[in-house]
């Protein structure tokens, strides 16, 4: 017979059927204060982690907004660059055309000057005067501004 079993023939009471229970260690004021500190620290850590998650969430949302804004700005700048490139190409073509026109007009003006000089020289007298110089057998007036400008 075990220590927990009642003797044969003895009436069983409710207390006799229970297994022995070990009581928790007696808590002292020091251990209770330590548990309270642990509990407060645990609550504080949870709250700190919650604040950290919220801060990270706000930061992530800010970065998303910034990325959207920069993407939109990038698309706008790309569109603007495309338009400016188009107009730059137009201006380059127009500049090239104007340069060609200018060169053609310069050649034409030179031809006209040579022709005018030739005609002027043909009509010059063959006799020298006091204010003339010998140019190819012709005597050209030195103080003639039109003739001087054509001889450039």
pLDDT of amino acid 31: 82
What whole-number distance in Å separates Cα of residue 18 and Cα of residue 22? 12
pLDDT of amino acid 9: 55
Share of the chain above pLDDT 90, in %: 50
> What is the pairing mode between strands 132-135 and 138-141?
antiparallel
Q: What is the pLDDT of residues 29-45, one digit of tens each?
A: 678 889 999 999 999 99
Pure H helices in the chain? 14-17, 29-122, 145-150
Q: What is the pLDDT of residues 47-86, one digit of tens each?
A: 999 999 999 999 999 999 999 999 999 999 999 999 999 9
- pTM of the model as a whole: 0.45
């Amino acid at each position: 017979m075990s220590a927990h079993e009642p003797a044969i023939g003895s009436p069983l009471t409710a207390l006799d059927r229970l297994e022995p229970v070990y009581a928790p260690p007696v808590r002292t004021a020091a251990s209770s204060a330590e548990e309270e500190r642990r509990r407060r620290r645990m609550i504080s850590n949870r709250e700190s982690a919650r604040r950290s998650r919220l801060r990270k969430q706000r930061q992530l949302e800010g970065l998303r907004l910034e990325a959207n804004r920069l993407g939109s700005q990038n698309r706008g700048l790309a569109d603007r660059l495309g338009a400016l490139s188009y107009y730059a190409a137009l201006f380059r073509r127009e500049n090239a055309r104007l340069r060609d026109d200018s060169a053609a007009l310069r050649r034409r003006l030179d031809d006209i000057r040579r022709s005018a000089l030739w005609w002027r020289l043909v009509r010059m007298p063959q006799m020298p005067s006091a204010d003339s110089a010998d140019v190819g057998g012709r005597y050209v007036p030195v103080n003639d501004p039109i003739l001087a400008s054509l001889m450039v």
